[in-house]
């Protein structure tokens, strides 16, 4: 069986956090009230992110796309995808953010990924309305549920933060950077540190001996 790669978007594919920055710009009041409560766990990601997104007027949708267009990707994603294609290994993007931001930043690379799982928003009312197929427990997008859709073995997770922790614990092979590394250290779960996607390609090449 072929491996399958699951990759976070925000702060992983993008060089910087883009989703929180977008919320602060387009939902300033809701963000100011809600974000501190997310950090103290007074409110779940599931209800907090929904509340912030649903306070954004639908007419801001175009501007959110424009906002996303200027965001940079971490180096090496194209090279990693070329390598995974040559090995026939699927690359799946799993994001707790909104689909339009993921697709805008990925651009042409959208056609190269096996799937994008993220929050969908409807713009037919006065404010955005949130729809997530994988809403569960405290999460708006339960990344582990997405992993379960794929049969590949081993499952490989790539991430940067606490929202990737469950996915990282469930995956036998993990590439972790930033805060995710700290969380995994605490859980004593082994991981491979990475800086950019070229590191991941090179390391997989070594592991797979290709």
CA distance 190 to 135: 28
Rule CB under 5 A: say whether 139 interacts with Mg ion: no
Contact 150/127 with Cβ under 8 angstroms? no
String marking each residue 2-41 x if it binds Mg ion according to CB under 5 A = ------x-xxx-----------------------------
- Cβ proximity to Mg ion: between 35 and 123 the closer is 35
Beta partners for residue 127, in sequence order:
57
For residue 87, CA distances in Å to 49, 76, 171, 210 come to 37, 17, 20, 9
Smallest distance, Mg ion to C-beta of residue 10, A:
4
Smallest distance, Mg ion to C-beta of residue 163, A:
6
- Cβ proximity to Mg ion: between 145 and 177 the closer is 177
CA distance 68 to 138: 26
- Per rule CB under 5 A, count of chain residues that contact Mg ion: 6
Helix 28-39 to helix 19-26 angle (10° resolution) is 140
Q: Which of 132, 145, 123, 147 is nearest to 56 (CA)?
A: 123
- Cβ proximity to Mg ion: between 139 and 160 the closer is 160
How would you classify the pairing of strands 4-7 and 155-159?
Answer: parallel
Smallest distance, Mg ion to C-beta of residue 177, A:
10
- Cβ proximity to Mg ion: between 29 and 75 the closer is 75
String marking each residue 151-170 x if it binds Mg ion according to CB under 5 A = ---------xx---------
- Cβ proximity to Mg ion: between 58 and 166 the closer is 166
Residues that bind Mg ion (CB under 5 A): 8, 10-12, 160-161
């Amino acid at each position: 069986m072929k491996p399958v790669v699951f990759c976070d978007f925000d702060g992983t594919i993008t060089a910087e956090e883009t989703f929180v920055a977008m919320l602060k710009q387009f939902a300033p009041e809701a963000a100011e009230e809600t974000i501190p409560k997310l950090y103290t766990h007074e409110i779940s990601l599931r209800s907090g992110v929904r509340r912030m997104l649903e306070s954004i007027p639908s007419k801001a949708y175009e501007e959110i796309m424009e906002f996303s267009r200027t965001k940079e990707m971490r180096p090496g994603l194209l090279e990693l995808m070329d390598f995974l294609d040559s090995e026939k290994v699927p690359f799946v993007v799993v994001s707790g953010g909104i689909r339009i931001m993921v697709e805008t930043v990925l651009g042409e690379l959208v056609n190269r990924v096996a799937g994008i799982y993220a929050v969908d928003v409807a713009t037919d009312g006065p404010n955005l309305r949130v729809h997530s197929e994988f809403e569960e427990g405290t999460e708006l997008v339960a990344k582990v549920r997405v992993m379960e859709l794929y049969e590949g073995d081993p499952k490989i997770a790539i991430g940067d933060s606490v929202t990737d922790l469950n996915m990282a614990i469930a995956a036998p092979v993990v590439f972790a950077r930033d805060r995710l590394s700290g969380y995994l250290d605490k859980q004593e779960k082994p991981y491979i540190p990475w800086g950019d996607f070229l590191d991941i390609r090179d390391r997989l090449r070594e592991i797979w001996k290709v």
